[in-house]
Chains A and B, each alone.
Chain A
Amino acid sequence: MKNKRHTYWTACWICAVVLSILTFTPLVSAGEAAPYIAGIPHALWAGILVTIGFIVLTYVGSRVHPMAEEEGDQ
């Protein structure tokens, strides 16, 4: 179980690093306003997606982090 947690956590932070790198590529930091989604320009909707991605990764990371809960935790 602990090994699995290590694997999941490693996958999680690798995803976070990849997401961070993507932020600084034209995929997110776009030099063009198009393509729009629901009227929202590319850099903004891509940035919102990256932020949501970090929230999801944080949630998953908080579930799979290998370090045991401290004593007294509920």
Chain B
Amino acid sequence: MITWLWITGAIYLGVLVFLTIVSRRKNRSTADYVLAGSNIGLFVGLLTYAATLFSAFTLMGMPDFFRTHGVGAWIFLAVSDGAQIFLIIWFGIPLRRRAKEMGFRGTASLLSALYENRWAGYIYLAGIFLFLVPYVAVQIRGLAIFLEAIYPGALPAWGWSVGIMIVMLAYGVLGGLRAVIAADAFQGVILLVATWIVGIACVHALGGVSSMFARVEAVDPALLSVPGPDGLFSIQFLLASFLAVMLLPATQPQLTTRLIIMRSTRTMKRMAVAIGCFVMLVLLPVVAIGMYGAVQYPEATTRDFLASVLLFDRPDVVAAVVVIGLLAAAMSTADSQIFALGTELTSLLSGDERTVLLASKAAIGVFGLFSLLFSLLSSDQLVLLALVSFAGTSLLGPMVLAGVFSRRPPGTVVLGATVLGLLIFLGSLVGVVPSQVGPMRLDLLLLLTIGAVTLASALYQHRHPKPAVAAERPYV
């Protein structure tokens, strides 16, 4: 299998190098470097968005979710992704208009302009830094540990982590967003191919779809209903996940940027529909992989199950493609997150084009090193931050939506509520604040409360307009 891994790995790296060189030649300005010329077509836009959305969790976490918690995992992710694509239309169209009116260098600077308050940008930046860096770090660490276990003696875990980060930083820093997007598109195809190869093999091994579910029922009937054998998929859990995943285009800068850099609004709309189809295409085979695990490896540890279902039960060449698929899934999400963190930071800086470009490259490198360092020194607290990454960034959602949809700059009370919400949420992670308030999950309660405060503030502003508003923004 090692031989096949070297061969497929060399092809994979070769394509990434080629894409980086081509992208680098096309970059003529800072806008090209940071925003890829804002001229992304439907096909590439679809693949880069999808590859950024689907991390290594798709191939490693989701099959295990289906195996241990049952078919409710579909509602947990696929239905939430369905709502997300509707949000792309609802939020993306006014977002593009705002970006056109105010100029777009990053979501943080756009929020500062929309709120006419630079703290809006700082709060957003702090929020994404707090929850995205651990997510990147833990994702790289998880994959590195897995690769070390299945290829003993090839490389230590830290070696895999360093290698992954060097490759990501190389094409990110050298080729800019254009290279990241081209790599994502390539990696999105690999992810899709890898999931289908394994998914079809799993359905075939269990004798078809009907037989597959019949055999799962014989193992544990609770896997075929909600909330699953351990009760994980409670209505509150599903609702909190639904809101967090739905809000991703507004709360995660790498996705927000991809809505703005599409060639036209029409292309973005088509991309939204295409992403919905991609979600179905990627997650349907993942159901089969999980169900196969429930039948064949019900008692195995997560690592043993994944190693068997993805690698050891497959021919060597397929296993090598799957490993590349895992690398592609992890890197296509992590590269976009690191690039977005770097460009969001520099979007708040001023200076001439050359200085900003250099600062962007330096910031991307620094965030990459931060993530690598965290992945090497991963602690329980860091893992915790990564696990709640989506829930954490979702608390920024009301602030972003209010900025984009309001007629005039939203009140500072929205910023205050967001900061307070983030602090309380962090308090719950370190055990200072209870994570359950009465019967309700704290993350859900905080999101709903910040949303209610934001809505109340918007209504108040609507009914009590300031007398000296010089130029009211058009309503969107």
Q: Given A16-B86, A41-B71, A55-B273: A73 and B264 within 8 A (CB)?
A: yes
B310 at the interface (CB under 8 A from A): no
Tell me which residues across on chain B come within 8 A of A74, comparing CB atoms. 264, 266
B397 at the interface (CB under 8 A from A): no
Residues 72 to 131 of chain B near chain A (Cβ within 8 Å): 72, 74-75, 78-79, 81-83, 85-86, 88-90, 93-94, 96-97, 100
A11 at the interface (CB under 8 A from B): no
Measured between alpha carbons, how far is A39 from B213 in the docked complex, in Å? 7
Instruction: Select B97's contact among A48, A50, A70, beta carbons within 8 Å.
Output: A70
A67–B224 touching, CB < 8 Å:
no
B217 at the interface (CB under 8 A from A): yes
Name the residue of chain A whose CB is nearest to the CB of B287: A44
A54–B83 touching, CB < 8 Å:
yes
Tell me which residues across on chain B come within 8 A of A32, comparing CB atoms. 225
Name the residue of chain A whose CB is nearest to the CB of B74: A47
B75–A43 touching, CB < 8 Å:
yes
Tell me which residues across on chain A come within 8 A of B90, comparing CB atoms. 13, 61
Measured between alpha carbons, how far is A42 from B269 in the docked complex, in Å? 31
A58–B86 touching, CB < 8 Å:
yes
Nearest CB of chain B from residue A45's CB, rounded to whole Å = 9
B279 at the interface (CB under 8 A from A): yes
Measured between alpha carbons, how far is A47 from B238 in the docked complex, in Å? 12
A20–B213 touching, CB < 8 Å:
no
Q: Given A43-B71, A73-B265: A31 and B226 within 8 A (CB)?
A: yes
* B237-281 Cβ-contact flags toward A at 8 Å (1 or 0): 011001000000000000000000000111001101100110110
Residues 26 to 51 of chain A near chain B (Cβ within 8 Å): 28-33, 36, 38-44, 47-48, 50-51
Residues 224 to 241 of chain B near chain A (Cβ within 8 Å): 224-227, 233, 235, 238-239
Q: Given A24-B239, A29-B75: A36 and B213 within 8 A (CB)?
A: yes
Nearest CB of chain A from residue B260's CB, rounded to whole Å = 11
B209–A38 touching, CB < 8 Å:
yes
B150 at the interface (CB under 8 A from A): no
B264–A55 touching, CB < 8 Å:
no
A33–B217 touching, CB < 8 Å:
yes
- Kindly count the residue-residue contacts between A and B in the assembled complex, taking CB atoms under 8 Å apart: 133
A23–B242 touching, CB < 8 Å:
yes
Measured between alpha carbons, how far is A67 from B265 in the docked complex, in Å? 10
Residues 333 to 389 of chain B near chain A (Cβ within 8 Å): none
Nearest CB of chain B from residue A57's CB, rounded to whole Å = 6
Tell me which residues across on chain A come within 8 A of B235, comparing CB atoms. 24, 29
Tell me which residues across on chain A come within 8 A of B211, comparing CB atoms. 39
Measured between alpha carbons, how far is A55 from B269 in the docked complex, in Å? 11
B79–A50 touching, CB < 8 Å:
yes
Tell me which residues across on chain A come within 8 A of B270, comparing CB atoms. 62
Nearest CB of chain A from residue B248's CB, rounded to whole Å = 14
B476 at the interface (CB under 8 A from A): yes
Nearest CB of chain B from residue A29's CB, rounded to whole Å = 4
Name the residue of chain A whose CB is nearest to the CB of B221: A33
Nearest CB of chain A from residue B103's CB, rounded to whole Å = 14
| Residue among B88, B93, B238, B270 with the highest chain A CB neighbour number at 10 A | B93
The 6 closest A-B pairs by CB, nearest first: A39-B210, A54-B82, A62-B269, A55-B276, A33-B224, A41-B224
Interface residues of B (CB under 8 A from A): 70-72, 74-75, 78-79, 81-83, 85-86, 88-90, 93-94, 96-97, 100, 208-214, 217, 221, 224-227, 233, 235, 238-239, 242, 264-266, 269-270, 272-273, 276-277, 279-280, 287, 476
What are 11 A-B pairs with beta-carbon distances under 8 A?
A33-B225, A39-B213, A39-B214, A43-B70, A47-B78, A58-B89, A61-B89, A62-B269, A70-B96, A73-B264, A74-B266
Additional pairs, 9, CB under 8 Å, beyond known A29-B72, A55-B277: A33-B221, A40-B209, A50-B82, A51-B81, A55-B82, A61-B86, A61-B89, A65-B93, A74-B266
